[in-house]
């Protein structure tokens, strides 16, 4: 029986859904995201999709995979609307963890471990008991506990978690549960942002899974990660930080599926939604990967991600007149005035400028846009047209500066893509792929500003949902090896085997890949059976230790995964094959 795939992308402004199958893109639907009622948004977009004229009876029952993307979390961070987090830090002597703290609710807990994970100073949690009680009164919604060297020994983090949970009753994230890498500052940022978006992330998954069940869709649900892979919803619930940039990842995968991204080429992707514009880079037909870790709020994390940048400039971004012009964003407070909003936005400015251009259809109630901009212009002693021009100019300026920043970061280190290591090279984009709701309205202006060809692929307004639908599921595996004890463990597989005392990191890496491929085969992954699944080692660490007898040993950790990718290129409209 032919299977269909469903992709859903929840943005700050709209929630989109697409149904893809052998026919190609069967149908798409769009609805306004209701932040106060996410289930209603998901229910509405699924209803619109089912009622689409191209959706025939029985198609929903034959959906074999559901993949989700969401910009809700990154939008909350960009607009400083994520949950308040209480941060408990323990580092021991010789380091001031306050240097790496985030947020306004921080407690440094005395106590510490050495680089082998041996306790050098007992944990003294009294200060944390008092701080955690205050945090709840101050509106903190979650807690993150991070200790230096916790991947070697999580005892102090676990103790802080228990103390904080008892004192305030809030959900707690522990740094060691998110990554085994030894980087204290990045582990702090990773745990902090994991806690900051966990509630919003869980609410989104609850809404989607509930509505899918009501629609009778029982297919596995996966969520996009920041690196373009898709993981089961249960894992995403435990590690929501991995999916903070799932929205930008969805747009990247969507362009891979929709646009003819060519070899020997460098191109920029820009996805403008209602709240943010997300930017990414393609080299030789493959997206660039940020191997230094996902960047959030100026801080590096331990999350592997596609190289992307999100700025608070979207169609619904508020306009703020200043002495030398207008600033667009980063805040959004509802829709544009053209769609019933109360404060003028970038989309309203575009309506004013395009009112005399017959080949550019306006959005919503253009008269409402003019009234709102006219009132704002009068208050700042300038004309309506001048205010609109200044607003669009500022949006283009911010997008151009973001593109330059992203390219500069990519050019400062060897270029990695999902396909391969490209080494040191200077990236000079030859074109821009523009997707998102306001894409057609900005395409020509952006081309003139950047002095580059700017194209919108087919289905640009639902590219994120297409990317989600066609992204392949991935699987990951983490291996721990200790030559002193003579053991190799794969906790996720409940697997343990003997390890030679002479084993070194390359052997452990090879065994990790072998176990992952076997795991895929056992779970019916066709790619594993025929050997076509591309596997890669994400992290590999080797740490010198002494065993119980005082002899030299090695403690090793290897993390590997199936390389993210798409099921194939979407070949156009219904009647053509969806992927090859």
DSSP string covering 126-194? HHHHHHHHHHHHTT--EEEEEETTTTT--HHHHHHHHHHHHHH---EEEGGGT-----HHHHHHHHHHH
What pLDDT was estimated at residue 96? 83
Higher pLDDT, 551 or 154: 154
Residues 35 and 182 in one domain: no
- How confident is the model over 458-484, as a mean pLDDT? 87
What pLDDT was estimated at residue 577? 41
Q: Does residue 231 sit within a domain?
A: yes
Q: Does residue 335 sit within a domain?
A: yes
Count of structural domains within the chain: 4
What pLDDT was estimated at residue 181? 76
Q: Does residue 423 sit within a domain?
A: no
Residues 107 and 62 in one domain: no
Q: Does residue 116 sit within a domain?
A: yes
Indicate the residue among 194, 211, 228 that finishes a domain: 194
Residues 186 and 226 in one domain: no
Residues 6+ apart with CB under 8 A from 81: 75
Of the candidates 427, 446, 389, 470, the one whose C-alpha atom is nearest the C-alpha of residue 272 is 446
Residues 496 and 523 in one domain: yes
Distance in angstroms (rounded) separating the CA atoms of residues 342 and 221? 37
Please state whether beta strands 24-32 and 14-21 pair in parallel, antiparallel, or not at all (unpaired): antiparallel
Q: Please give the radius of gyration of the chain, using alpha carbons only, rounded to the nearest integer.
A: 25
Kindly give the residue spans of alpha helices, DSSP state H, lying in 380-473.
384-411, 439-450, 463-470
In this structure, are residues 463 and 471 in contact, taking their beta carbons and an 8 Å threshold? no
In this structure, are residues 51 and 216 in contact, taking their beta carbons and an 8 Å threshold? no
pLDDT-based confidence at residue 523 (cuts at 50, 70, 90): low
- pLDDT tens by residue, 223-282: 999 988 888 888 889 889 999 988 889 989 998 888 876 766 899 999 998 888 989 999
Q: Give the total residue count for the chain.
A: 580
Residues 156 and 236 in one domain: no
Residues 109 and 168 in one domain: yes
In this structure, are residues 265 and 430 in contact, taking their beta carbons and an 8 Å threshold? yes
Higher pLDDT, 363 or 172: 172
- pLDDT tens by residue, 285-339: 889 998 888 888 889 999 888 998 889 999 999 999 998 899 999 988 889 999 9
Residues 70 and 150 in one domain: no
Q: What is the DSSP letter of 505?
A: H
Q: What percent of the chain has pLDDT over 90?
A: 50
pLDDT higher than 90, residue 534: no
Start-to-end CA span in the chain (Å)? 18
Residues 168 and 121 in one domain: yes
pLDDT higher than 60, residue 56: yes
pLDDT higher than 50, residue 491: yes
Q: Give the DSSP H or E segment for 105.
A: none
- pLDDT tens by residue, 116-139: 678 899 999 999 999 999 998 999
pLDDT higher than 70, residue 441: yes
pLDDT higher than 80, residue 173: yes
Question: 């649900």: which residue's tokens?
Answer: 221
Residues 52 and 107 in one domain: no
Residues 185 and 218 in one domain: no
Q: What is the DSSP letter of 424?
A: S
**CATH code where residue 218 lies:** 3.30.420.40
**What's the mean per-residue pLDDT of the chain?**
87
Q: Does residue 262 sit within a domain?
A: no
What pLDDT was estimated at residue 547? 61
Query: At what angle are helices 346-354 and 366-379 packed, to 10 degrees?
Result: 110
What pLDDT was estimated at residue 550? 61
Distance in angstroms (rounded) separating the CA atoms of residues 136 and 169? 8
Distance in angstroms (rounded) separating the CA atoms of residues 399 and 409? 15
- pLDDT tens by residue, 138-151: 999 999 999 998 87
Residues 68 and 205 in one domain: yes
Indicate the residue among 184, 217, 243 that finishes a domain: 243
The tokens describing 73, both together, are 């979390």
Indicate the residue among 345, 366, 393 that finishes a domain: 393
The answer to pTM > 0.85 is: no
Query: At what angle are helices 439-450 and 346-354 packed, to 10 degrees?
Result: 80
Which range has highest mean pLDDT (189-203, 227-241, 262-276, 511-525)?
A: 189-203
Q: What is the DSSP letter of 302?
A: S
Distance in angstroms (rounded) separating the CA atoms of residues 475 and 6? 20
Residues 373 and 516 in one domain: no
What pLDDT was estimated at residue 579? 47
Range(s) of the domain holding residue 508: 476-562
Distance in angstroms (rounded) separating the CA atoms of residues 31 and 40? 10
Q: Does residue 109 sit within a domain?
A: yes
pLDDT higher than 80, residue 2: no
pLDDT-based confidence at residue 571 (cuts at 50, 70, 90): low
225 to 203, 243, 475, 509: CA distances (angstroms): 17, 4, 11, 23
- How confident is the model over 400-422, as a mean pLDDT? 88
């Amino acid at each position: 029986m032919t299977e269909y795939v469903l992709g859903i992308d929840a943005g700050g402004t709209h929630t989109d859904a697409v149904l893809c199958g052998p026919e190609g893109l069967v149908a798409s639907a769009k609805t306004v995201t209701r932040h106060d009622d996410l289930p209603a948004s998901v229910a509405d977009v699924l209803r619109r999709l089912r009622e689409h004229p191209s959706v025939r009876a029985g198609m929903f029952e034959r959906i074999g995979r559901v993949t989700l993307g969401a910009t809700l979390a990154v939008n909350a961070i960009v607009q400083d609307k994520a949950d308040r987090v209480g941060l408990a830090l323990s580092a021991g002597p010789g380091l001031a963890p306050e240097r790496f703290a985030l947020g306004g609710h921080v407690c440094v807990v005395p106590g510490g471990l050495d680089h082998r994970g041996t306790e050098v100073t007992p944990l003294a949690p009294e200060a944390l008991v008092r701080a955690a009680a205050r945090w709840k009164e101050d509106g903190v919604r979650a807690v993150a506990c991070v200790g230096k060297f916790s991947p070697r020994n999580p005892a102090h983090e676990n103790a802080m978690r228990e103390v904080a949970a008892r004192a305030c009753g809030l959900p707690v994230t522990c740094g060691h549960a998110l990554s085994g890498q030894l980087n204290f500052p990045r582990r702090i940022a990773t745990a902090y942002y994991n806690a900051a978006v966990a509630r919003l992330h869980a609410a989104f998954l609850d809404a989607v899974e509930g509505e899918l069940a009501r629609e009778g869709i029982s297919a596995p649900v996966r969520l996009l990660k920041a690196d373009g892979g898709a993981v089961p919803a249960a894992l995403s619930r435990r590690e929501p930080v991995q999916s903070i940039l799932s929205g930008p990842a969805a747009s990247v995968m969507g362009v891979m599926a929709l646009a003819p991204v060519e070899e020997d080429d460098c191109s920029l992707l820009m996805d403008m939604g209602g709240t943010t514009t997300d930017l990414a880079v393609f080299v030789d037909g493959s997206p660039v990967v940020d191997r230094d870790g996902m960047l959030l709020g100026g801080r590096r994390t331990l999350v592997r991600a596609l190289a992307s940048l999100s700025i608070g400039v979207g169609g619904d971004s508020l306009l703020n007149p200043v002495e030398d012009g207008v600033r667009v964003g980063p805040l959004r407070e509802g829709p544009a005035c053209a769609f019933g909003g109360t404060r003028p936005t970038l989309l309203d400015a575009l309506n004013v400028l395009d009112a005399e251009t017959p080949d550019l259809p306006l959005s919503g109630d253009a008269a409402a846009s003019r009234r709102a901009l006219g009132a704002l212009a009068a208050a700042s002693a300038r004309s309506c047209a001048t205010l609109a021009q200044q607003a669009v100019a500022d949006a283009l300026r911010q997008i151009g500066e973001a593109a330059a920043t992203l390219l500069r970061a990519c050019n400062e280190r060897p270029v990695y893509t999902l396909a391969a290591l490209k080494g040191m090279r200077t990236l000079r984009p030859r074109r821009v792929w523009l997707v998102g709701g306001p894409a057609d309205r900005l395409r020509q202006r952006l081309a003139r500003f950047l002095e580059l060809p700017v194209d919108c692929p087919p289905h640009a307004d639902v590219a994120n949902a297409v990317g989600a639908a066609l992204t392949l599921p991935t699987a990951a595996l983490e291996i721990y090896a200790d030559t002193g004890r003579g053991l190799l463990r794969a906790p996720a597989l409940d697997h343990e085997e003997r390890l030679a005392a002479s084993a070194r990191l390359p052997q452990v890496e090879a065994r990790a890949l072998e176990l992952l491929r076997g795991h895929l085969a056992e779970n019916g992954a066709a790619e594993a059976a025929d050997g076509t699944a591309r596997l890669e080692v994400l992290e590999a660490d080797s740490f010198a230790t002494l065993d119980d007898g005082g002899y030299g040993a090695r403690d090793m950790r290897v993390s590997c995964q199936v390389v993210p990718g798409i099921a194939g290129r979407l070949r156009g409209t219904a009647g053509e094959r969806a992927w090859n």
